[in-house]
Structure 1
């Protein structure tokens, strides 16, 4: 474990160019995709509203399908590391694909409202319109953040209801094309649920703050993937990064106390949980685009980093900031990390206070010659680290919480 200290490399000032400003919020790739979808819809203003509803609705659903997500990541990360860094930097933003979902879902709702007011009034049409508007309202970022459980249930049950009502609508109005499109959409929505299963787990609790949840039910996921977990499959799902270990079957999840659901799981230590669908690619999967990377993690953010560090498929350095790492996560996990990352910067916030993660990441990146930084932390820290590093010309990546 390296000694924590004030970084020796001075952090340069942020770039002030137009290109640098366009890398900052709100000009994220996610929002650019939203804008692109909206512009494409404006260009199709002469097309029949019913056609645009179907096109947007299909895109909104399919772009969230697990097999489609994995395909997008596979395509984006297939680029060889000899390609220009600027190209690979852009491809690494593949996880912003949620902008297509947001743009298409919003446009589908607007087009359906246009269709509702330009056709003879029908209670079914306006019921669907009301449900679509309610789903958009609950998905608004500030509302979603305050009422996440309500957002999730509104999307799940509201979405299922809309599918049923759309099918009835297609039959009543003799829309054969809509029927075929709906069949594809329903199959896409149903597929993860066809893989729903209740599986045994073994939970190790090194402290009241963390649970290490071990799975071994015949699935060994790939590094950079996540698994959706629930204790009540109709009400609430949470996705966590998978931690497979080389040469072993199964995988682990690192779950920290961050709310009622995680707190309950840590306290209760259930013997079984529900999983659905397939392991799905996430932001960490983009490390293969670069010759080497720096992983920046806070707290249980070490979980998504760990499988990449263990596999060693992409040369890496680790910066980990956490409260008393051994007391919180246990000697076994910390020793496992240090065995593959003897030069890791492990910052104990109990004894050293909060570090300047931007400066630390910049220093380690320059010392190691890494091409990119991947940050796994809370929203505020992730946005700050990614934005400040990219303002200094370093490709940086992290969850966006926008979609």
Structure 2
């Protein structure tokens, strides 16, 4: 397959590898008038440059659009060199700050406990183990996440200082740093507890020692399987080990706690006193951990789905009922295996349908096209993404490439104060009439569609973002793209002083 074909395919999937800026705003053929916030003057913005012409799904399928000759690709313009300090600022984001702070605080506690300066952790180590693990689970719990987003969006939208709202978005987006930091710290405290047990093995029952080792192994496997390299390149391996070994770790934790609490170190006898057990703080930590793990699974349902296949590259899934913007759905062919997350597209909570755009990137998404399901498993409790905080801002820009539109479109559909920039390849043919109709029926005058196939490459994205940011009087830019595209745009926005949040790859 030629490199040209690979580039087009990657753009359609939303995983387009780096293509140097091959066109600029000057190559656009038209502009769209957009009113400013006060509606007192008109400002010229880059307009829709795609071939999407229709106002409804039916008319889109019939419309062929205006013929636009494909220009010769210009010579790639060199990328400006980005300073190491700017790169470090983007690398050491709030996620890593949370992770570093969490681990450092726990390491200090471990050192104080190990040296005998702080005696409390030596006697109640389980509280530190389970407290950390419970917090780790809480940070990834859909219900808790939705509550945090609702709390922030309700109390602080638009009226608070921009710097405060940006901090709120950053914290909510990077809660995973606390999740990873607490999971790592809980594992370290567990090792500390097992070491103490073995040092005091004469007074500790063999069953307690054995369960401590088994629990350590289970949690270690669960943590290692969540490393980005495993998660991003071997999704099924990550899911099976992180989930099922994690569940095994929870069971082992329960056994370890119960055995440790009912074994009397003084008399070396078992004391299965239920009242004594429920009086221990580690018992209630374990109860809360179990609730946090089980609750999302109690919301799974098999639901009806209609699959539209506009091209071999994309499947558009349609579900009943509308959704608020900024949510993501997990779907699977099985009730407990191989769940995949996709951004939800909906015109609002009162809409009849919501949609998922699934680009072909693996066996699961390929199966949606080769063998379209009529029913599919999903968690009814959806989880919130960073776009959900768009409510905080007066005006903003949503930039996406390829299938990244799935995570971006709802924000623009449900708020007239958000502008969409979508870079893709042959959008109408690839994504079909349903998606095209949603865009044209709702985003007139506040959308720029760039067809990289017709234009011979991607636009000068930073020039486009800067001009729209100024003309649209935006406060924030949200970016959904592949790793390289996200990196380039985030660096460009940081250098230009434009507040921006991009796709997050946990380290």
TM-score norm. by structure 2 comes to 0.73
- Cα distance in 1 for partners of 2:82, 2:163 equals 16
- Cα distance in 1 for partners of 2:379, 2:87 equals 40
| 2:429 paired with 1:327 | yes
Structure 1 pair 331–90 and aligned structure 2 pair: CA distance change class (3 A) = same
Higher relative contact order (CA 8 A, sep 6+): 2
- Cα distance in 2 for partners of 1:92, 1:13 equals 28
- Cα distance in 2 for partners of 1:17, 1:150 equals 35
In the alignment, what sits opposite 1:141? 228
In the alignment, what sits opposite 1:30? 95
Structure 1 pair 187–293 and aligned structure 2 pair: CA distance change class (3 A) = same
In the alignment, what sits opposite 2:109? 44
- Cα distance in 2 for partners of 1:206, 1:324 equals 12
Contact 2:330 2:341 in 1 (8 A): yes
In the alignment, what sits opposite 2:24? 6
Contact 2:132 2:182 in 1 (8 A): yes
In the alignment, what sits opposite 1:112? 190
In the alignment, what sits opposite 1:165? 252
- Cα distance in 1 for partners of 2:500, 2:281 equals 43
- Cα distance in 1 for partners of 2:392, 2:469 equals 16
| 2:173 paired with 1:95 | yes
- Cα distance in 1 for partners of 2:127, 2:231 equals 29
In the alignment, what sits opposite 2:159? 82
State the shift of 1:228 in Å: 0.9
Contact 1:294 1:365 in 2 (8 A): yes
- Cα distance in 1 for partners of 2:285, 2:220 equals 21
Structure 1 pair 106–124 and aligned structure 2 pair: CA distance change class (3 A) = same
Contact 2:127 2:285 in 1 (8 A): no
Aligned to 1:59, the other structure's residue is in SS state: helix
- Cα distance in 2 for partners of 1:289, 1:22 equals 27
- Cα distance in 1 for partners of 2:482, 2:161 equals 30
State the shift of 1:177 in Å: 2.2
Worse overlay, 33-42 or 100-109: 33-42
| 2:218 paired with 1:131 | yes
Pick from 270, 275, 289 the counterpart of residue 185 of structure 1.
289
Contact 1:23 1:387 in 2 (8 A): no
Structure 1: gaps of 5 or more residues? none
Contact 2:323 2:347 in 1 (8 A): no
Aligned to 1:182, the other structure's residue is in SS state: helix
- Cα distance in 2 for partners of 1:61, 1:167 equals 16
Aligned to 2:25, the other structure's residue is in SS state: coil
In the alignment, what sits opposite 1:276? 379
In the alignment, what sits opposite 2:355? 252
In the alignment, what sits opposite 2:318? 214
State the shift of 1:62 in Å: 1.3
Matches within 5 A, 1:322-361: 322-343=424-445, 344-352=447-455, 353-361=457-465
State the shift of 1:83 in Å: 2.2
Worse overlay, 34-43 or 184-193: 34-43
In the alignment, what sits opposite 2:29? none
State the shift of 1:136 in Å: 2.0
Matches within 5 A, 1:193-204: 193-204=297-308
State the shift of 1:332 in Å: 4.0
How many residues are matched? 395
- Cα distance in 2 for partners of 1:134, 1:330 equals 42
Q: Render the CA deviation track for 1:158-186: whole Å, top value 9, x for unaligned.
A: 11111111111111111632222111111
> What is the root-mean-square deviation of aligned Cα atoms in Å?
2.4
In the alignment, what sits opposite 1:387? 491
Q: Render the CA deviation track for 1:265-310: whole Å, top value 9, x for unaligned.
A: 1221111100124021111112112111111111121122222222
In the alignment, what sits opposite 1:315? 417
Q: Render the CA deviation track for 1:126-176: whole Å, top value 9, x for unaligned.
A: 011111112222222223323221111111111111111111111111163
In the alignment, what sits opposite 1:399? 503
State the shift of 1:263 in Å: 1.2
